Amino acid sequence: MKNMKRIAQTTLMAAAMAVTVSTTRASWAYVPLELRLAGADLVVVGKIDRLTDNFKVGERMHDVGAITVQRMLKGPGNLKEAQVAWPGKARFALSTDIRYRVGQQGIWILTRDAKQPNVYRANYPTDYQAAANLPKILAALKKLSKMKWSPAKAGLQMAVLVEQRDMRGAKVRVGGKPVKALAQASVYLMARNATGKPVHVANYRFDQPLKLKFTGPDGKLIPVKLYGVRPPKPPPPAKYNFIALPPGEMRPISHGLGLPMITRPGKYQVTLSYANDRDGDKLVAGPVWRGNLTVPVLEFSVAGPK
Protein backbone atom coordinates (compact mmCIF):
# COMPACT_ATOMS: atom_id res chain seq x y z
CA MET A 1 0.00 0.00 0.00
CA LYS A 2 2.86 2.34 0.87
CA ASN A 3 4.51 1.53 -2.47
CA MET A 4 1.26 2.27 -4.31
CA LYS A 5 0.97 5.60 -2.48
CA ARG A 6 4.58 6.47 -3.30
CA ILE A 7 4.02 5.62 -6.97
CA ALA A 8 0.91 7.79 -7.04
CA GLN A 9 2.77 10.71 -5.46
CA THR A 10 5.64 10.31 -7.93
CA THR A 11 3.19 10.23 -10.84
CA LEU A 12 1.47 13.41 -9.64
CA MET A 13 4.83 15.15 -9.18
CA ALA A 14 5.95 14.11 -12.66
CA ALA A 15 2.71 15.40 -14.13
CA ALA A 16 3.11 18.72 -12.30
CA MET A 17 6.69 19.02 -13.54
CA ALA A 18 5.57 18.24 -17.09
CA VAL A 19 3.07 21.10 -16.92
CA THR A 20 5.78 23.43 -15.56
CA VAL A 21 8.20 22.46 -18.32
CA SER A 22 5.63 23.05 -21.05
CA THR A 23 4.59 26.44 -19.65
CA THR A 24 8.11 27.67 -18.98
CA ARG A 25 9.51 26.62 -22.33
CA ALA A 26 6.78 28.64 -23.98
CA SER A 27 8.09 31.68 -22.10
CA TRP A 28 11.23 31.90 -24.28
CA ALA A 29 10.55 34.87 -26.53
CA TYR A 30 12.09 34.48 -29.97
CA VAL A 31 15.18 36.63 -30.50
CA PRO A 32 17.12 36.50 -33.80
CA LEU A 33 20.74 35.41 -33.57
CA GLU A 34 21.88 38.81 -34.89
CA LEU A 35 20.25 40.58 -31.94
CA ARG A 36 21.95 38.28 -29.43
CA LEU A 37 25.26 39.01 -31.11
CA ALA A 38 24.58 42.75 -31.20
CA GLY A 39 23.87 42.87 -27.47
CA ALA A 40 26.78 40.62 -26.47
CA ASP A 41 29.84 41.90 -24.65
CA LEU A 42 31.96 38.99 -25.86
CA VAL A 43 31.67 36.37 -28.58
CA VAL A 44 34.38 33.74 -28.33
CA VAL A 45 35.34 30.32 -29.58
CA GLY A 46 36.69 28.25 -26.71
CA LYS A 47 36.39 25.46 -24.17
CA ILE A 48 35.45 25.39 -20.49
CA ASP A 49 38.66 24.03 -18.98
CA ARG A 50 37.78 24.07 -15.28
CA LEU A 51 35.45 25.31 -12.57
CA THR A 52 36.83 28.40 -10.84
CA ASP A 53 34.17 29.55 -8.36
CA ASN A 54 30.53 29.51 -7.28
CA PHE A 55 28.17 32.01 -5.71
CA LYS A 56 24.61 32.20 -4.46
CA VAL A 57 21.68 33.86 -6.22
CA GLY A 58 18.72 33.75 -3.87
CA GLU A 59 18.59 30.17 -2.62
CA ARG A 60 20.41 28.74 -5.64
CA MET A 61 24.12 28.15 -6.13
CA HIS A 62 25.63 29.11 -9.47
CA ASP A 63 28.84 27.61 -10.85
CA VAL A 64 31.55 29.57 -12.64
CA GLY A 65 33.75 28.03 -15.32
CA ALA A 66 36.78 29.37 -17.17
CA ILE A 67 36.53 29.44 -20.97
CA THR A 68 39.95 29.32 -22.60
CA VAL A 69 39.59 31.69 -25.56
CA GLN A 70 40.80 30.10 -28.78
CA ARG A 71 39.41 32.80 -31.06
CA MET A 72 37.88 36.19 -30.31
CA LEU A 73 34.95 37.09 -32.58
CA LYS A 74 33.77 40.15 -30.62
CA GLY A 75 35.65 41.80 -27.77
CA PRO A 76 39.26 42.60 -26.82
CA GLY A 77 41.70 40.61 -28.90
CA ASN A 78 44.13 40.04 -26.02
CA LEU A 79 41.62 38.28 -23.76
CA LYS A 80 42.83 34.76 -22.98
CA GLU A 81 40.09 33.61 -20.63
CA ALA A 82 36.43 34.42 -19.91
CA GLN A 83 34.47 33.44 -16.81
CA VAL A 84 30.95 32.13 -17.50
CA ALA A 85 28.32 31.39 -14.83
CA TRP A 86 25.33 29.03 -14.92
CA PRO A 87 22.82 27.57 -12.43
CA GLY A 88 24.30 24.77 -10.36
CA LYS A 89 22.70 21.43 -9.59
CA ALA A 90 19.46 21.63 -7.65
CA ARG A 91 16.89 19.17 -6.37
CA PHE A 92 14.16 20.91 -8.36
CA ALA A 93 15.79 22.58 -11.36
CA LEU A 94 13.88 24.94 -13.63
CA SER A 95 13.22 24.00 -17.24
CA THR A 96 14.74 27.36 -18.22
CA ASP A 97 18.06 26.42 -16.61
CA ILE A 98 20.86 26.38 -19.16
CA ARG A 99 23.81 24.54 -17.68
CA TYR A 100 27.29 23.83 -18.99
CA ARG A 101 30.08 21.42 -18.14
CA VAL A 102 33.85 21.26 -17.98
CA GLY A 103 35.21 20.22 -21.37
CA GLN A 104 32.35 21.81 -23.33
CA GLN A 105 33.71 23.28 -26.56
CA GLY A 106 31.99 25.72 -28.89
CA ILE A 107 31.02 29.31 -29.56
CA TRP A 108 29.89 31.47 -26.63
CA ILE A 109 27.74 34.60 -26.90
CA LEU A 110 28.37 36.27 -23.56
CA THR A 111 26.84 39.20 -21.66
CA ARG A 112 28.11 40.62 -18.37
CA ASP A 113 26.50 39.35 -15.18
CA ALA A 114 24.45 42.11 -13.55
CA LYS A 115 26.20 41.80 -10.16
CA GLN A 116 29.32 39.64 -10.39
CA PRO A 117 32.41 41.51 -11.67
CA ASN A 118 34.28 39.93 -14.58
CA VAL A 119 31.67 37.18 -14.90
CA TYR A 120 29.52 36.59 -17.98
CA ARG A 121 26.33 34.72 -18.82
CA ALA A 122 25.17 32.66 -21.78
CA ASN A 123 21.57 32.25 -20.67
CA TYR A 124 19.53 32.19 -23.87
CA PRO A 125 19.15 28.96 -25.90
CA THR A 126 21.22 30.26 -28.85
CA ASP A 127 23.99 31.81 -26.72
CA TYR A 128 25.94 28.57 -27.01
CA GLN A 129 26.62 27.21 -30.47
CA ALA A 130 28.45 24.09 -31.58
CA ALA A 131 31.79 24.77 -33.25
CA ALA A 132 30.33 23.52 -36.54
CA ASN A 133 28.07 26.61 -36.57
CA LEU A 134 31.01 29.02 -36.89
CA PRO A 135 30.16 29.92 -40.53
CA LYS A 136 26.63 30.87 -39.44
CA ILE A 137 27.97 33.05 -36.61
CA LEU A 138 30.49 34.74 -38.89
CA ALA A 139 27.75 35.43 -41.48
CA ALA A 140 25.53 37.00 -38.79
CA LEU A 141 28.40 39.17 -37.51
CA LYS A 142 29.14 40.26 -41.09
CA LYS A 143 25.48 41.20 -41.54
CA LEU A 144 25.69 43.37 -38.43
CA SER A 145 28.88 45.02 -39.61
CA LYS A 146 27.26 46.02 -42.91
CA MET A 147 24.24 47.77 -41.40
CA LYS A 148 23.78 51.32 -42.73
CA TRP A 149 23.82 53.71 -39.79
CA SER A 150 22.27 57.15 -39.77
CA PRO A 151 24.57 60.13 -39.13
CA ALA A 152 24.94 60.75 -35.41
CA LYS A 153 22.42 63.19 -33.98
CA ALA A 154 23.10 64.31 -30.40
CA GLY A 155 25.34 61.25 -30.19
CA LEU A 156 22.78 58.67 -31.34
CA GLN A 157 22.80 56.59 -34.51
CA MET A 158 20.15 54.19 -35.80
CA ALA A 159 19.99 51.40 -38.34
CA VAL A 160 17.50 48.78 -39.52
CA LEU A 161 17.99 45.03 -39.40
CA VAL A 162 15.68 42.84 -41.50
CA GLU A 163 15.20 39.15 -40.79
CA GLN A 164 13.78 37.23 -43.74
CA ARG A 165 12.28 33.74 -43.50
CA ASP A 166 11.67 31.52 -46.52
CA MET A 167 7.97 30.64 -46.80
CA ARG A 168 8.04 28.91 -50.20
CA GLY A 169 6.21 25.62 -49.95
CA ALA A 170 4.57 26.54 -46.63
CA LYS A 171 0.80 26.52 -46.22
CA VAL A 172 -0.05 30.15 -45.54
CA ARG A 173 -3.40 31.87 -45.11
CA VAL A 174 -3.91 35.63 -45.06
CA GLY A 175 -7.31 36.96 -44.07
CA GLY A 176 -8.60 33.40 -44.05
CA LYS A 177 -7.55 32.81 -47.67
CA PRO A 178 -4.65 30.64 -48.85
CA VAL A 179 -1.77 32.53 -50.51
CA LYS A 180 1.42 31.44 -52.23
CA ALA A 181 3.86 33.20 -49.95
CA LEU A 182 7.53 33.59 -50.78
CA ALA A 183 8.87 35.14 -47.59
CA GLN A 184 8.01 36.65 -44.25
CA ALA A 185 10.13 39.52 -42.96
CA SER A 186 10.48 41.35 -39.65
CA VAL A 187 12.18 44.69 -39.04
CA TYR A 188 14.25 45.55 -35.97
CA LEU A 189 15.35 49.10 -35.12
CA MET A 190 18.92 49.24 -33.79
CA ALA A 191 20.44 52.15 -31.86
CA ARG A 192 24.12 52.90 -31.26
CA ASN A 193 25.57 55.29 -28.69
CA ALA A 194 28.29 57.33 -30.44
CA THR A 195 29.21 59.27 -27.29
CA GLY A 196 31.41 58.53 -24.31
CA LYS A 197 28.52 58.70 -21.85
CA PRO A 198 25.57 56.33 -21.20
CA VAL A 199 22.14 57.30 -22.48
CA HIS A 200 18.63 55.82 -22.53
CA VAL A 201 16.42 55.44 -25.59
CA ALA A 202 12.65 55.47 -25.04
CA ASN A 203 10.23 53.11 -26.73
CA TYR A 204 6.81 53.71 -25.20
CA ARG A 205 4.34 52.33 -27.71
CA PHE A 206 1.50 54.70 -26.79
CA ASP A 207 3.68 57.60 -27.96
CA GLN A 208 3.86 55.79 -31.34
CA PRO A 209 7.55 56.68 -31.77
CA LEU A 210 8.10 54.67 -34.97
CA LYS A 211 6.99 55.31 -38.53
CA LEU A 212 7.63 52.74 -41.23
CA LYS A 213 7.39 52.87 -45.03
CA PHE A 214 7.45 49.59 -46.93
CA THR A 215 7.85 49.78 -50.71
CA GLY A 216 7.31 46.88 -53.11
CA PRO A 217 9.12 45.96 -56.35
CA ASP A 218 6.71 48.17 -58.33
CA GLY A 219 7.65 51.24 -56.29
CA LYS A 220 4.26 51.41 -54.56
CA LEU A 221 3.83 51.68 -50.79
CA ILE A 222 2.56 48.58 -49.01
CA PRO A 223 0.44 49.45 -45.93
CA VAL A 224 1.93 48.40 -42.61
CA LYS A 225 0.04 48.85 -39.34
CA LEU A 226 2.42 49.31 -36.42
CA TYR A 227 0.01 50.43 -33.71
CA GLY A 228 -3.59 49.91 -32.75
CA VAL A 229 -6.01 52.55 -31.55
CA ARG A 230 -4.56 54.59 -28.68
CA PRO A 231 -6.73 54.16 -25.56
CA PRO A 232 -8.10 57.34 -23.91
CA LYS A 233 -6.06 56.60 -20.76
CA PRO A 234 -3.03 54.49 -21.64
CA PRO A 235 -0.98 52.94 -18.83
CA PRO A 236 1.98 55.05 -17.68
CA PRO A 237 5.44 54.22 -19.02
CA ALA A 238 7.56 51.76 -17.04
CA LYS A 239 11.29 51.40 -16.54
CA TYR A 240 11.54 48.79 -19.30
CA ASN A 241 10.34 51.41 -21.80
CA PHE A 242 13.75 53.07 -21.51
CA ILE A 243 16.58 51.03 -23.01
CA ALA A 244 20.00 51.64 -21.47
CA LEU A 245 22.68 52.25 -24.10
CA PRO A 246 26.29 52.19 -22.80
CA PRO A 247 28.95 54.23 -24.63
CA GLY A 248 29.88 52.74 -27.99
CA GLU A 249 27.31 49.94 -27.69
CA MET A 250 24.36 49.04 -29.90
CA ARG A 251 21.03 47.59 -28.80
CA PRO A 252 17.68 46.73 -30.41
CA ILE A 253 15.07 49.37 -29.65
CA SER A 254 12.06 47.53 -31.02
CA HIS A 255 10.68 44.03 -31.05
CA GLY A 256 10.29 42.52 -34.48
CA LEU A 257 7.95 44.67 -36.58
CA GLY A 258 6.20 42.17 -38.84
CA LEU A 259 5.84 43.14 -42.49
CA PRO A 260 2.94 41.87 -44.61
CA MET A 261 3.41 38.42 -46.12
CA ILE A 262 5.53 38.75 -49.27
CA THR A 263 4.03 37.10 -52.35
CA ARG A 264 5.97 38.75 -55.19
CA PRO A 265 9.67 38.35 -56.00
CA GLY A 266 11.87 41.39 -56.40
CA LYS A 267 13.49 44.19 -54.42
CA TYR A 268 11.78 45.73 -51.40
CA GLN A 269 12.66 48.85 -49.44
CA VAL A 270 12.16 49.73 -45.78
CA THR A 271 12.39 53.25 -44.35
CA LEU A 272 12.05 53.67 -40.60
CA SER A 273 11.98 56.88 -38.57
CA TYR A 274 12.02 57.42 -34.81
CA ALA A 275 10.91 60.35 -32.65
CA ASN A 276 10.85 60.92 -28.89
CA ASP A 277 10.12 63.97 -26.73
CA ARG A 278 9.73 62.12 -23.44
CA ASP A 279 12.14 62.33 -20.52
CA GLY A 280 12.80 59.50 -18.08
CA ASP A 281 9.77 60.26 -15.90
CA LYS A 282 12.10 59.67 -12.90
CA LEU A 283 12.14 55.99 -13.84
CA VAL A 284 15.80 55.87 -14.93
CA ALA A 285 18.92 57.67 -13.83
CA GLY A 286 20.75 59.61 -16.51
CA PRO A 287 19.72 61.32 -19.74
CA VAL A 288 17.06 60.09 -22.18
CA TRP A 289 17.69 60.88 -25.84
CA ARG A 290 15.16 63.28 -27.31
CA GLY A 291 14.75 64.19 -30.95
CA ASN A 292 14.01 62.49 -34.27
CA LEU A 293 16.02 60.34 -36.65
CA THR A 294 15.39 58.74 -40.02
CA VAL A 295 17.30 55.56 -40.78
CA PRO A 296 18.93 55.10 -44.20
CA VAL A 297 16.74 53.16 -46.64
CA LEU A 298 17.30 49.41 -46.43
CA GLU A 299 16.79 47.30 -49.54
CA PHE A 300 16.40 43.53 -49.57
CA SER A 301 15.54 41.01 -52.26
CA VAL A 302 13.05 38.16 -52.28
CA ALA A 303 13.59 35.22 -54.64
CA GLY A 304 10.82 33.73 -56.76
CA PRO A 305 9.26 30.27 -56.46
CA LYS A 306 11.60 27.28 -56.46
- Cβ atoms within 10 Å, residue 149: 16
- The answer as to whether 233 is a domain residue is yes
14 domain residue, yes or no: no
CATH of the domain at 168: 2.60.40.2360
What CATH number is given to the structural domain containing 52? 2.40.50.120
- Residues 178 and 125 placed together within one structural domain of the fold: no
Same domain, 121 and 171: no
Query: At 200, is the pLDDT very low, low, confident or very high (cuts 50, 70, 90)?
Result: very high
Region 144-153: mean pLDDT is 94
User: Distances from the Cα of 50 to the Cαs of 71, 159, 217, in angstroms?
Assistant: 18, 40, 55
Q: How high is the pLDDT of residue 76?
A: 93
Separation CA 113–CA 99 (nearest Å): 15
CA distance 281 to 278: 8
Neighbours of 130 (CB within 10 A): 10
* % the chain with pLDDT above 70: 91
Alpha carbons 179 and 161: distance in angstroms, whole number:
26
State residue 27's pLDDT score: 66
151 with 267, same domain? yes
24 found inside a domain: no
Tell me which residue range forms the domain holding 162. 147-302
| Residue 193 confidence class, pLDDT cut points 50, 70, 90 | very high
The per-residue pLDDT for 4 is 39
Summary mean pLDDT of the chain: 88
Q: Does one domain contain both 297 and 151?
A: yes
CA–CA gap between residue 211 and residue 294 (Å, rounded): 9
pLDDT at 224 over 60: yes
Q: Is residue 46 part of a domain?
A: yes
Position 113 in a domain: yes
Q: With b meaning 16 or more CB within 10 Å and e meaning fewer, what string describes 151-171?
A: eeeebbbbbbbbbbeebeeee
The pTM for the full model equals 0.80
Of 100, 146, 98, 114, nearest to 41 by C-alpha is: 114
Last-in-domain residue among 96, 116, 138: 138
With beta carbons less than 8 A apart as the criterion, state whether 71 and 85 touch.
Answer: no
Number of domains in the chain: 2
Return the SS3 of 75.
Answer: coil
Q: Say how far apart CA 260 and CA 186 lie, in whole Å.
A: 9
pLDDT in tens, 55-110: 998 888 999 999 999 999 999 999 999 999 999 988 777 778 899 999 999 999 99
Look at residue 26 and tell me if it is in a domain.
no
User: C-alpha distances in angstroms, 232 versus 23, 146, 229, 235?
Assistant: 34, 42, 9, 10
Does the residue 248 lie in any domain? yes
